[in-house]
Amino acid sequence: MEPVKVGLLGLGIVGGGTISVLRRNATEIARRAGRGIIITHASARDLKKPREFSLDGIELLGDPLELVNHPEVEIVAELIGGTELARELVMQAISNGKHVVTANKALIAIHGNEIFEAATRKGVIVAFEAAVAGGIPIIKAIREGLAGNSISSVAGIINGTTNFILTAMREQARSFEDVLAEAQSLGYAEANPTFDVEGIDAAHKLTILAAIAFGIPLQFEKVFTEGITQITIEDIGFAERFGYRIRHLGIARRTSEGVELRVHPTLIPERRLIANVDGVRNAVLVIGDAVGPTIYYGAGAGADPTASAVVADLVDIVRAFTTDPGNRVPHLAFQSDALSYEEILPMEEISTAYYLRMQALDRPGVLADVTRILGESGISIEAILQREPVEGASFVPIIILTQSVQEKYMNQAIEKLEALPNINGRIMRIRMDPLA
């Protein structure tokens, strides 16, 4: 039987990894798919750029639209990133009746509803395992392995750059700026790291995870997003004194009031497995009613790990070539006509516990004012730590852990606390979550 011909859009790290994995494991892949899978055409912005992998046997095309329209290409693998050009190419591929594999989380999070609707009409598959958590097969696990469960929450470390930074800050007592510069030099962070450190990348991925976990449409614009740029070495140290680690998490949780979609730094108990995931690794915790808590851990980025997911999607598509479109695994786990528009809760309506750090004037009565304002706002205190003043310093740090309260009441309390004449500057607030 003739091998399936794939057209590759993008010859970067993941594109090169995909070529290498397909060639290295060609026999094994053919045994699993029932047919060989080969890259026959490829397109990239700069075709003359030196590359560390061989392009022998691959026809190079300068125009990506030519690849998408090429009659020999049966599956298009979109690995160029971005949203607008990628959307145009993917929609054209679908219009041409071609299946699509993509590693593009922004494309799926922002345009996925439109893309999947078009794919369903044309009877083609759009596979996107590599869009979330690199080589960890989390999409397949939720969509297929946990299909018998009602899933209550998905939470995880889904951006390796931020996890690398927080790990190095904790282990080496270095500043955010210093570790970010190292992450950039190692290739873990882009020259413009905004998508990573401000939580946008994680929000794209959380949008996808929530859709397949809860059967809701993709709604990136409703994800609350906060980055790690304000986290200090002091915050990490104080958290550890209380038995917590700071991780940058994406959290999707279904409650009786609605669905929580939030990305932010989070204090989690240090005994949790996910609290001990260090470096650039990813980990996702999924809780189902039948199976209970399950955790998925591994490489969240890199050439071979991400290529592993891309190739797995190619194998799935080839296996489905003879399957009636109506009997295939739905793109977002639930049948397209069964997706539900559950209410997405605004952050102000979500309840969490909090870590608060403030600089207070070292004089009697200040702590009493702080606790009074918290009490008047209906906020119960779990623990307080007041550091001894440094010689010559007028202000001392006060650390407070609170019990769970709605964010809107915490916002009101922080506004009142920052207005006190004996509180200096802004109050640092980090949300807490037991992940239970």
pLDDT of residue 392: 65
Within a domain: 344: no
- In order along its 436 residues, the chain shows pLDDT tens digits of 899 999 999 999 999 999 999 999 999 999 999 999 999 999 999 988 889 899 999 999 999 999 999 999 999 999 999 999 999 999 999 999 999 999 999 999 999 999 999 999 999 999 999 999 999 999 999 999 999 999 999 999 999 999 999 999 999 999 999 999 999 999 899 889 999 999 999 999 999 999 999 999 999 999 999 999 999 999 999 999 999 999 999 999 999 999 999 999 999 999 999 999 999 999 999 999 999 999 999 998 889 999 999 999 999 999 998 788 877 888 988 888 888 989 999 999 999 999 999 999 988 899 999 999 999 999 999 999 987 776 667 889 999 999 999 999 999 999 999 999 999 999 999 999 999 8
Supply the CATH number for residue 334's domain.
3.40.50.720
Q: Is 60 helix (H, G, I), strand (E, B) or coil?
A: strand
As annotated, the active-site residues are 205
Does 240 share its domain with 328? Answer: no
Strand order in the sheet with 99-102: 59-61, 37-43, 4-9, 75-78, 99-102, 126-127
Within a domain: 345: no
Does 36 share its domain with 122? Answer: yes
Within a domain: 251: yes
Q: How many domains does the chain have?
A: 3
Does 309 share its domain with 294? Answer: no
The DSSP bridge pattern shows strands 4-9 and 75-78 to be parallel
pLDDT of residue 362: 86
Supply the CATH number for residue 354's domain.
3.30.70.260
Provide CB contacts within 8 A for 27, sequence distance 6+: none
Does 363 share its domain with 229? Answer: no
Does 361 share its domain with 267? Answer: no
Within a domain: 81: yes
- Among 270, 299, 328, identify where a domain stops: 299
Does 88 share its domain with 202? Answer: no
The DSSP bridge pattern shows strands 395-402 and 351-361 to be antiparallel
Six-digit token string for 379? 């906020």
Six-digit token string for 232? 């200090």
Does 54 share its domain with 83? Answer: yes
Quickly tell me which residue has 């997003």 as its tokens: 225
Does 197 share its domain with 235? Answer: yes
Q: Please give the DSSP secondary-structure letter assigned to residue 48.
A: T
Quickly tell me which residue has 């190419």 as its tokens: 89
- Among 288, 315, 338, identify where a domain stops: 338
Within a domain: 197: yes
Does 40 share its domain with 182? Answer: no
Give Cα 158 to chain centroid, integer Å: 4
Within a domain: 96: yes
pLDDT of residue 336: 86
Does 266 share its domain with 403? Answer: no
- For the whole model, what pTM was predicted? 0.95
Does 153 share its domain with 273? Answer: yes
Structural domain range at position 382:
350-432
pLDDT of residue 321: 87
